[in-house]
Amino acid sequence: MNNGRYRESRQIGRKPAANLHHATRVAERIGRPLNQFVTINYSHTACSPREASAAFRKLLASWYARWLRRHQKLKGRCPPTHVWVFEAAGGQVAVHWAVHIPRGLVREFRRSLPQWIAATVGEPVPHDTVKHRPIYNVTGLKRYVLKGMDPHFAPLWKIRPVPQGLIVGKRSGFSRNLGPTARARVGYRPQRHRSTGWTSDATA
């Protein structure tokens, strides 16, 4: 495995998987539930597989976060809230992105996505590059995006592991307000149980 921008991985490690698992619950705790599920297929763009993760993180920082920060309806009161996972099954490099979008801005968000992607890959993208749908079952979605985790730990979350290919760069992530420091700030205390794996003090 390489360090830095071009490190390689073939699965989500135990710690990143646990952070994603808890992040979905923290989103509920702080009143910003993950309500939109977006898949961006970078294999449909001019972006090389080696640069896909970096391109997506640029989209997060330079376009999505800036859109939230500057939107007149929000007045900076809605910080980025999301989790994401890259996969490369079947030779297709794609990112699954579960995100909280405020009520009334979903259509604008969806219209903006192709423009943001184009800005970060260098040219317009085909219409089938992006798929999005509302999230109704966070538990089911979590199991879906974590299917590429380390197979030794997947059973703890009742997840059936499926190999998701080689990813270059950061494989998964979450917004700052859903991370370990934020968890402590809102009083979320994960506890490890022998039979079921990680849970929280509030919900199983």
User: DSSP for 141-165?
Assistant: HHHHHTTTB-TTTGGGGT-------
User: How many Cα atoms occupy the beta-carbon half-sphere of 22 within 13 Å?
Assistant: 27
Q: What pLDDT does residue 163 have?
A: 93
> Cβ(129)–Cβ(52) under 8 Å?
no
In order along its 204 residues, the chain shows pLDDT tens digits of 344 678 999 999 999 999 999 999 999 999 999 999 999 999 999 999 999 999 999 999 999 999 999 897 887 789 999 999 999 998 899 999 999 999 999 999 999 999 999 999 999 999 999 999 999 999 999 999 999 999 999 988 889 999 999 999 999 999 999 999 999 999 888 765 444 444 444 332
Binning the chain into helix, strand and coil, the percentages to the nearest 5 are 45, 20, 40
Q: Which two tokens stand for residue 23?
A: 């992040």
pTM: 0.89
Does 203 fall in a domain? no
CA distances from 118 to 6, 111, 129, 151, 190 (A): 22, 12, 10, 35, 39
Q: What pLDDT does residue 5 have?
A: 79
Does 189 fall in a domain? yes
Locate all alpha helices (DSSP H) within 11-158, ordered by sequence.
Answer: 14-29, 52-59, 65-70, 106-121, 138-145
Q: What pLDDT does residue 109 have?
A: 97
CA distances from 158 to 18, 185, 198 (A): 13, 28, 11
> What span, in angstroms and rounded, lies between the C-alpha atoms of 4 and 21?
24
CATH classification at residue 31:
3.30.70.1910
- Helix or strand (DSSP H, E) at 172: strand 172-174
Quick one: CA dihedral 165, 87, 53, 156, positive or negative? negative
Q: What pLDDT does residue 30 have?
A: 95
Q: Range of 143's domain?
A: 4-195
Q: Provide the 3-class DSSP secondary structure of residue 18.
A: helix
- State the residue for tokens 């921008």: 5
Does 200 fall in a domain? no
The one-letter amino acid at 160: R
Does 18 fall in a domain? yes
Does 92 fall in a domain? yes
Does 58 fall in a domain? yes
User: How many Cα atoms occupy the beta-carbon half-sphere of 38 within 13 Å?
Assistant: 26
Does 146 fall in a domain? yes
**For the chain, how many structural domains are there in total?**
1
Does 88 fall in a domain? yes
